[in-house]
Structure 1
Amino acid sequence: MTLLNPTLRQPEQNAFVPAISAEKPANELNLSDFSAYFQASQAISHHEKNKVFRLRHKVYCEELNFEPPRPSGLEQDDFDRRALHCSLADAQSGEIAGTVRLIHCEQEPGPLPIEKYFAGRFTAPHLSPACFPRQHVCEISRLAVAAQFRRRIKDTAAKDLPALSSSSRPFNRFIAIGLYLMATAMCLEKGYYHGFVTIEPSLARILQRIGINFNQIGEAIDFNGKRAPYYLDAREVVANLLPEYRDLMQRLSGQLLTEPELVASSRQMTTNTDLQWAIA
């Protein structure tokens, strides 16, 4: 089993290290049971990727109308060629509940989407992608949660946000959080330490409550609703996460980073591997 790199180096001296929220989950659910309901995996094969693209089409093209419908029923773009695709599937049915991708520059050092849409708009230029080695940057994007696994939630300082949960199954509310934790695990494993994301500021605040601390590097713009660019150092997430979410990240990464030939067996049980989360 391939696990997270235990030799992570210290964040840069000038890296942003915000305070974390001490807020606990709003319920008494044991997050260690999450992996009994949902299984994390990478989409490697053509068939697996098409399942991801089909879910994205359903959410982005048919439900939210963020993208034009495709005759193929698959939502794809040029960035998918240099992206890692992750998904969470219902443990019983195998149906994909959510997906997220990491666009990287390891083989192709082209611009990230955030550099395209926020060119000349960065208010913290020292934290823009251009300031870091291209092989260590990535962008987390195209997060999508299937309609049947979500409902709307409210942030006290914002309007309704897209679905992080469903009342029918208690752990559905953690799907989007799980996807961000999976993306961070992949960042650490691949050495894409400098992560970027374009999301609603209110969603950034929700994620900051559990210790996924974003640094806003530009003003919000109208881009399928109000979206702002954010930076995070993936290595700091490990130290800042609330303990129950750190444990969830460990469990999800144990599934996500399992060698392909072991995936089938790993999906039959919850990993009990005690990962070593080290900040050198």
Structure 2
Amino acid sequence: MFYYKRIPRTDERIHEVYMLRYKVYCDEWKFENPEDHPGGVEIDEYDEHSSHFAVIRKDSDEMIGTTRIIFCSDRGFPLEGHAEIDQGALEGIDRELVGEVSRLAVSKDYRRRYVDKVMFEFREYDENYERQTKAERRKVDQEIVLNLYSCIYRECIEKKMTHLIAVMADGLYLLLKRIGIVFSKIGPSIDYHGPRTPYICCIDTTMQHLQKKHPEIYKRFTSMEP
């Protein structure tokens, strides 16, 4: 159904990454001011210090999801400017080996197909069908996130990174936890595009957890095939 890939900034498809981010962050959720992002692309000062990843439909080659890892630079990490970090949370960790997961976006047009399916493919309320549709939605959400985090893991291994940080909504945190990717809270929740909480993930600890509790996902992450 999907494949995933790293999108270098020299790749012509990086424009699609920025366009998808614009649709989600500017048009759909209004998190960013469209006037600050002319040309229908959402780009910021951290992109030049990031690796970008995409999930793409195999049948249409449509890019339907994206995220990035922001690496340590003289700009610091966005998380540090938006959230209050617990004292000592990052103590003893080499910042050069930390990356911030950021700008996770999934196409609204893609999601809408599943809404249409719920609305128009049955005439009467069917509780079993509703449960089945919710289960299908969760499965698709999980598949998209798994594809993106497979990319992220491979990038971390290549660059010998030890930790990931992120500011996340509860829903994403719980989805990752269900998959077996466990982040730990490192500060109080904040109001940043809605309730968000800062987290950290130790890559080695997470992979040990996956190997023990979620061997199929561990195998997927460590396989050389996408």
Q: TM-score range by the shorter chain?
A: 0.7 to 0.9
Q: TM-score, normalised by structure 2?
A: 0.80
Pair 229,169 (structure 1): closer, same or farther in 2 beyond 3 Å? closer
Identify if the C-alpha distance between structure 1 residues 115 and 247 changes in structure 2 by more than 3 Å, giving closer, same or farther: same
1: distance between equivalents of 2:151 and 2:222?
A: 9
In structure 2, the residue matched to 1:245 is 217
TM-score by length of 1: 0.65
Q: 2:81 matched to which residue of 1?
A: 116
Aligned residue for 1:72, secondary structure, equals: helix
**Equivalent residues of 1:166, 1:173 under 8 A apart:** no
* 1:177 positional shift: 3.3
In the alignment, residue 237 of structure 1 is paired with which amino acid? T
In the alignment of these two chains, the number of paired residues is: 200
Following TM superposition, by how much is the alpha carbon of 1:149 offset from its aligned partner in structure 2, in angstroms?
Answer: 3.0
Cα RMSD, aligned residues only: 2.4
Distance 1:172 1:205 in 2: 12
Higher relative contact order (CA 8 A, sep 6+): 1
Is the aligned partner of 1:135 residue 2:135? no
For structure 1, list consecutive stretches of 5 or more residues without a partner in the other structure.
Answer: 1-36, 153-164, 256-280
Q: Percent identity?
A: 31
Higher percent of residues as helix: 2
Query: 211, 226, 230: which is aligned to 2:199?
Result: 230
Question: Which of 6, 9, 16 is the matching residue for 1:51?
Answer: 16
Q: Is this contact kept in 2: 1:188–1:235, CA < 8 A? A: no
Q: Within 1, Cα distance between the matches of 2:137 and 2:24? A: 20
Determine the structure 2 residue equivalent to 1:75.
42
Q: Is residue 178 of structure 2 the alignment partner of residue 209 of structure 1?
A: yes
Aligned in 2, Cα 1:170/1:208: closer, same or farther, shift over 3 Å? closer
Q: Which residue of 2 aligns with 1:42?
A: 6
Q: 1:148·1:166 contact (CA, 8 Å) conserved in 2? A: no
Whole-angstrom distance in 1 between the partners of 2:187 and 2:150: 23
Specify the alignment match of 1:92 in structure 2. 59
Q: CA offsets per residue over residues 93-135 of structure 1, 9 Å max, x none?
A: 1110100100002xx34310011112xx222x3223x642222
* Alpha-carbon distance between aligned partners in 2 of 1:211 and 1:168, rounded to the nearest angstrom: 18
Task: Using the TM superposition, give the Cα deviation of residue 227 of structure 1 relative to its aligned residue in structure 2, in angstroms.
Answer: 0.3
